[in-house]
Chain A
Amino acid sequence: MMLHEKDLLLISNPDNRRTAGIQEARRQMGMKPATVLSYENLLRTWRRGGGLAELVEFISPSPLIRLDAPGEDWEVERGLLHLGATDYDVSDSKVLSDQVPSFKELKACVETDLPSSLQKLKRESFSAEATLTLEQQWGRIYAPAQWFRGWKVCLDRIAQEAREVWPGVQFWNDPDEIGMMFDKRECQLHLMRQGISVPPILPSSEPIQCWEQLRAAMDASRMHRVFIKLACGSAASGVVAYQVNPRTGVEIAVTTVGMETSQGQTLFYNEGKLQKYTHPEEIRTLLDWLCAEGAQIERWMPKAMLDQRVYDIRQLVMAGQAGHAVMRLSRTPITNLHLRNERMLPAEAGLPDPHMSMIQRVARDTMLAFPNSWSAGIDVMLTSGMEPRAYVLDVNPFGDLLYRVRHQELTPYEWEMKLLRKEPVRHA
């Protein structure tokens, strides 16, 4: 007997490898193609006062909705910055032009009016109007905090509208939980409370919003080597490995973030290759920005090594099962670069079975902390030393885009589709 298959609504950027991969997997597994709704279309519809209901005509009264990664599409980036603008009223889809000065041209300003700031909070901000005419500068990281605010609004609104339109709707990954996974600060705290091992968070009595506070906190807890990660960054975007020599005061910051200063304004970029900053002024500029935009700051735990390269593991978990795993190796502290780092399968690398079991166990346990989500890619590191321990570094709700790796002879997307049939999503 054929089980009834739920219709799948895929909200994504349709032209990317993710959407193509999912559709191909469904075809391979003999399933109906997913209905695809683009973020671009959805955001545009919202801007003109419309909603989800008018965009998708469904046969099924209770579809399964998969939200996919919103990245790599400039229109969507702008749309999310628009949603996150402080002068934009989400409920009304209106620009509050009276309250906040609007910027006619592409222009960033500095927000200084946020609470609890004796120090200036150098957070980049664009007005709602300015976002829609932003021209893309390749690689530039635009107002991360604003982008993330927009992304969370987007998630909330999808959840709310979908539940209104289809009372029986189910989400592949719950939008709330996606938001939590995306926010590295919230996610790591949540995991810690659930008893999952995560690198210790830099203790601080108040939120760290600038380099000075960061250094004070590092000195106070004698944590001389930290990772500072943009709270909402994906992959290696906005990740800095920072260390201060407690004896000499020498500082080193290794990162993919590039900086360019002109006319007193510094722009921040994703660089294809690793940057190493050693000048205190540069480091200060970088970390002031990162801390102001919102950062997860945790102890830099030395990772286990293989042939003089550090590694960590992306472990996929779906329907409670540990599936595909990929090792990411690097000669630098930063392993999750897309471009230059090597990837290997744990078996090729000769990773011992007990280590692999430990990784799978911690990845499955991590997923239990997100009861309303069905799949994620969990980044796990092992510590260096004789008896390594596993720590969870990141939970990626869209972490299933992995190439050249098979589990039970299936690609990640094929395996997901197979599991979807066997063990359909049960949570709401």
Chain B
Amino acid sequence: MQEVKLVVNYDDYEEGIRMETLLQDLAAKPEAATLESLIIRDWGQAYENSPQEFKDTLIQLAPSFPALKQLFIGDMESEECEVSWIVQTNLAPILQAFPNLTSFVIKGSSGLELEPLQHSKLEELVIICGGLPKKVLHSIASAELPELRKLELYLGVEDYGFDGSIEDVLPLLEKGRFPKLEYLGLKDSEIQDEIAKATADASILEQIQILDFSEGTLSDEGAEALLASEQIKQLKHLNLSYHFMTDEMMERFKQSGMSVDVSDQQESDEDDWRFPMLTE
């Protein structure tokens, strides 16, 4: 697969190089016509500047990338910008500009909006962040994504932008909202136990094959509910990697005969706090 990564590093940005220009240069190359994957990394001091700087350009240039299937906006490491500091914007118009896109990955949630979220071919939506605003959860819950097969959301913590509660997550546990959904990741959450309990008897399990509750604060409380669910046992795979379960609970999962990942056991800190993985 043809893939291009674009980055504006610190020096570049200081010298006036902009993501906009890199996109224009790329669009002018012959390889643009066959490009399948575009990864936009740091667009330059992303803790201050949002993709608004290059959004219109990317939308205008969309016809130059007719083969584009995958788009990643914000693929950067904490060395460049802390994940919770990455400034995003309403990215839905970009998605709409690429009608053939099947995979859309976003990193960073500060200022992120996805409104309106409609796409007839999108199969995969991933949002990696320190805390997902409930506004975005609502946009996803009311989205029209008939082909969506994989939904992976880092819910994060309040300090980094998760301003919702279990109530804002519940709509995603209803069957049929995305008829083709097979992979549901509601992960990296500080309310992982509540999510696990709510999911254990949710109708979404009738269509899901892979459930991803990894990187969060799952403890025995949520794990107990999962183990008690007959529908959870029918899953093709359950990802619980990075968790706060006891050894006994891990053993029970191993004995359950399920395909389950219980690796990366964590210990609560001295004040008995549990933190999701991606909290910087």
Write the residues of chain A forming the contact surface with B, with a CB cutoff of 8 angstroms: 224, 243, 245-248, 250, 252, 276, 299, 301-303, 305, 308, 310, 333, 383-386, 389
Contact = CB atoms under 8 A, between A and B. Distances in A.
B11 A389 contact: yes
B79 A310 contact: yes
Interface in B82-111: 82, 85, 87, 110
Interface residues of B, number: 19
Interface in B30-74: 42, 45, 47-48
A308 B128 CA distance: 15
23 contacts: A224-B48, A243-B47, A245-B85, A246-B47, A247-B47, A247-B85, A247-B87, A252-B82, A276-B280, A299-B10, A302-B9, A302-B79, A302-B80, A305-B77, A310-B77, A383-B9, A383-B11, A384-B9, A384-B42, A385-B7, A385-B11, A385-B12, A389-B11
Contacts of B8: 385
A247 B9 contact: no
A116 B8 CA distance: 41
- Is the contact region of chain A dominated by helix, strand, or loop, or is it mixed? loop
Given A245-B47, A247-B48, A252-B280, A385 B79 contact: no
A8 B7 CA distance: 51
B10 A302 contact: yes
B79 A384 contact: yes
A382 to B, nearest CB: 10
- Residue of B10, B11, B42, B79 with highest tally of chain A CB at under 10 A: B79
Nearest to B5: A386
B22 to A, nearest CB: 9
Q: Which 4 pairs across A and B sit closest by C-beta, in order of nearness?
A: A385-B9, A302-B80, A302-B79, A310-B79
A226 to B, nearest CB: 12
B80 A384 contact: yes
Contacts of A301: 10-11
A386 B9 CA distance: 9
B48 A246 contact: yes
Nearest to B82: A252
B87 A308 contact: no
Nearest to B110: A247
Contacts of A303: 79
A224 B14 CA distance: 13
A224 B7 CA distance: 20
Contacts of B12: 385
A217 to B, nearest CB: 18
Contacts of B9: 302, 383-385
Nearest to A224: B47
A305 B9 CA distance: 12
Contacts of B10: 299, 301-302, 383
Contacts of B48: 224, 246-247
Contacts of B87: 247
B7 A386 contact: yes
B7 A384 contact: yes
B79 A333 contact: yes
Contacts of A333: 78-79
A392 to B, nearest CB: 15
Interface in B1-38: 7-12
A299 B12 CA distance: 15
A305 B75 CA distance: 13
A196 to B, nearest CB: 16
Contacts of A310: 77, 79
B31 to A, nearest CB: 15
- Residue of A308, A383, A386, A389 with highest tally of chain B CB at under 10 A: A386
Interface in B135-150: none
Nearest to B48: A246
A243 B82 contact: yes
B273 to A, nearest CB: 14
A385 B45 CA distance: 13
Contacts of B79: 302-303, 305, 310, 333, 384
Contacts of A245: 47, 82, 85
B204 to A, nearest CB: 32
Contacts of B42: 302, 384
Contacts of A386: 7
B275 to A, nearest CB: 12
Contacts of B110: 247
Interface in B230-280: 280
Contacts of A224: 45, 47-48
Contacts of A250: 85
A308 B7 CA distance: 15
A250 B83 CA distance: 13
A384 B8 CA distance: 9
Nearest to B111: A247
A301 B10 CA distance: 7
Given A246-B48, A333-B79, A383-B11, 9 more contacts: A243-B82, A246-B47, A247-B48, A247-B87, A276-B280, A301-B11, A302-B10, A305-B79, A384-B42
A305 B12 CA distance: 17
A173 B183 CA distance: 63
B42 to A, nearest CB: 8
Contacts of A246: 47-48
Contacts of B47: 224, 243, 245-247
B10 to A, nearest CB: 6
Contacts of A276: 280
Nearest to B7: A385
B147 to A, nearest CB: 31
Nearest to A200: B14
Nearest to A386: B7
A389 B77 CA distance: 19
A294 to B, nearest CB: 26
Contacts of B7: 384-386
B9 to A, nearest CB: 4
Contacts of B82: 243, 245, 252
Contacts of B11: 301, 383, 385, 389
Nearest to B9: A385
B234 to A, nearest CB: 35
A394 B85 CA distance: 29
A387 to B, nearest CB: 9
A303 B110 CA distance: 24
A252 B110 CA distance: 17
Contacts of A383: 9-11
